[in-house]
Structure 1
Amino acid sequence: MMGEAIAELQDLKADLKRKGVRYALASFVDIHGMCKGKVVPLSHIDQMLQGSELFTGAALDGVPQQISDEEVAAMPDPASATILPWKPEVAWFASDLYLENQPFAACCRGILKRSLRRAAELGFTFNLGIETEFFIFKETNEGGFRPVSDRDTIAKAAYAVPTLLDNYTILDSIVGAMNQLGWGVYSFDHEDAQGQFETDFGYCDALKMADRLTFFRLMVKELARQQGYFASFMPKPYSNQTGSGAHYNMSLADIHTGENLFVSADDPNGCKLSQLGYQFIAGILKHAPAICAVIAPTVNSYKRLVRQGSMSGFTWAPVYICYGSNNRTNMIRIPLAGGRVECRAADISTNLYLGAAMILTAGLEGIREGLDPGAPHRENMYTYSLNEIQAMGIQTLPRTLGEAIEAFAADPLSEEVMGALMYQTYIDFKQQEWQDYHNHVSDWEINRYLKFF
Structure 2
Amino acid sequence: MVSSLTQPQVTPGSLPSDPAALRDHLQRRGVRYALASFVDLHGIGKAKAVPIDHLPDMLAGSELFTGAALDGVPQDVTDDEVAAIPDPASTTVLPWRPDVAWLASDLHLHGQPFEACSRSILGRVRQQAAAMGFRFQLGIETEFFVLRRSADGTLEPASHRDTLDKPCYDLIGLLDNLDWLDELVQAMNSLGWSVYSFDHEDGNGQFEVDFAYADVLTMADRLIFFRLMAKEIAQRHGLIASFMPKPFANRTGSGAHYNMSLADLNSGSNLFAPEAGEDGGISQLARQFIAGVLRHAPAICAVIAPTVNSYKRLVMQGSMSGFTWAPVFISYGNNNRTNMLRIPSAGSRLECRAADISCNPYLGSALMLAAGLEGIRKQLDPGPPNLDNAYTLSPEERQRRGLTLLPRTLEEAIDSFAADPLCRSVFGDAMFDAFVTYKRQEWADYHGSISEWERQRYLEFF
| TM superposition score normalised by structure 2 | 0.96
Could you tell me whether the CA contact under 8 Å between 2:19 and 2:55 is conserved in 1? no
Q: Give the one of 42, 46, 53 matched to 1:43.
A: 53
Q: Give the one of 144, 165, 171 matched to 1:155.
A: 165
State the shift of 1:374 in Å. 1.4
State the shift of 1:387 in Å. 3.3
3-state DSSP class of the match of 1:322?
Answer: strand
State the shift of 1:392 in Å. 1.6
Q: Give the one of 222, 240, 256 matched to 1:230.
A: 240
Could you tell me whether the CA contact under 8 Å between 1:131 and 1:200 is conserved in 2? yes
State the shift of 1:71 in Å. 0.5
Partner of 1:120: 130
Could you tell me whether the CA contact under 8 Å between 2:17 and 2:88 is conserved in 1? no
3-state DSSP class of the match of 2:122?
Answer: helix
User: Percent of aligned positions with the same letter in both sequences?
Assistant: 63
Q: Give the one of 371, 392, 398 matched to 1:362.
A: 371
Could you tell me whether the CA contact under 8 Å between 1:262 and 1:273 is conserved in 2? yes
Could you tell me whether the CA contact under 8 Å between 1:272 and 1:338 is conserved in 2? yes
Residue type at the aligned position of 1:278: R
Partner of 1:101: 111
2:194 maps to 1:184: yes
Partner of 2:298: 289
- Distance in 1 (alpha carbons) for counterparts of 2:126 and 2:111: 22
- Distance in 2 (alpha carbons) for counterparts of 1:318 and 1:6: 44
Q: Give the one of 445, 451, 458 matched to 1:442.
A: 451
Residue type at the aligned position of 2:208: E
- Distance in 2 (alpha carbons) for counterparts of 1:257 and 1:104: 32
- Distance in 1 (alpha carbons) for counterparts of 2:254 and 2:163: 18
- Distance in 2 (alpha carbons) for counterparts of 1:385 and 1:207: 41
- Distance in 1 (alpha carbons) for counterparts of 2:415 and 2:281: 36
Alignment of 1:3-402 (within 5 A): 8-266=18-276, 268-269=278-279, 271-402=280-411
**Count of aligned pairs:** 448
Could you tell me whether the CA contact under 8 Å between 2:294 and 2:330 is conserved in 1? yes
Change (3 A) 1:326 1:7: closer
Partner of 2:412: 403
Name structure 1 gaps, 5 residues minimum: none
Residue type at the aligned position of 2:193: W
3-state DSSP class of the match of 2:330?
Answer: coil
3-state DSSP class of the match of 2:146?
Answer: strand
Aligned-residue CA RMSD in angstroms? Answer: 1.1
- Distance in 2 (alpha carbons) for counterparts of 1:247 and 1:371: 23
Could you tell me whether the CA contact under 8 Å between 2:16 and 2:22 is conserved in 1? no
After superposition, give the CA deviation of every residue in 1:315-352 in whole Å (9 maximum; x if it has no partner).
Answer: 00000000001111100001111110000000000100
- Distance in 2 (alpha carbons) for counterparts of 1:279 and 1:265: 15
- Distance in 1 (alpha carbons) for counterparts of 2:145 and 2:314: 18
- Distance in 1 (alpha carbons) for counterparts of 2:17 and 2:136: 30
3-state DSSP class of the match of 1:321?
Answer: strand
Residue type at the aligned position of 2:200: H
Could you tell me whether the CA contact under 8 Å between 1:265 and 1:272 is conserved in 2? no
State the shift of 1:308 in Å. 0.6
- Distance in 2 (alpha carbons) for counterparts of 1:193 and 1:7: 44
Runs of 4+ aligned residues of structure 1 deviating over 3 Å after TM superposition are: 265-269
| TM superposition score normalised by structure 1 | 0.97
State the shift of 1:398 in Å. 0.1
Could you tell me whether the CA contact under 8 Å between 2:290 and 2:372 is conserved in 1? yes
State the shift of 1:389 in Å. 1.4
3-state DSSP class of the match of 2:339?
Answer: coil
Partner of 2:8: none
State the shift of 1:394 in Å. 1.9
After superposition, give the CA deviation of every residue in 1:84-130 in whole Å (9 maximum; x if it has no partner).
Answer: 00000000000001111111110000000000011001000000000
- Distance in 2 (alpha carbons) for counterparts of 1:31 and 1:284: 22
Could you tell me whether the CA contact under 8 Å between 1:267 and 1:273 is conserved in 2? no
- Distance in 2 (alpha carbons) for counterparts of 1:74 and 1:49: 8
Residue type at the aligned position of 2:43: G
Partner of 2:437: 428
3-state DSSP class of the match of 1:154?
Answer: coil
After superposition, give the CA deviation of every residue in 1:267-318 in whole Å (9 maximum; x if it has no partner).
Answer: 643x321100111001000000000000000000000000111111100000
Partner of 2:11: none
- Distance in 2 (alpha carbons) for counterparts of 1:170 and 1:74: 32
- Distance in 1 (alpha carbons) for counterparts of 2:45 and 2:148: 23
State the shift of 1:7 in Å. 6.7
- Distance in 1 (alpha carbons) for counterparts of 2:410 and 2:394: 23
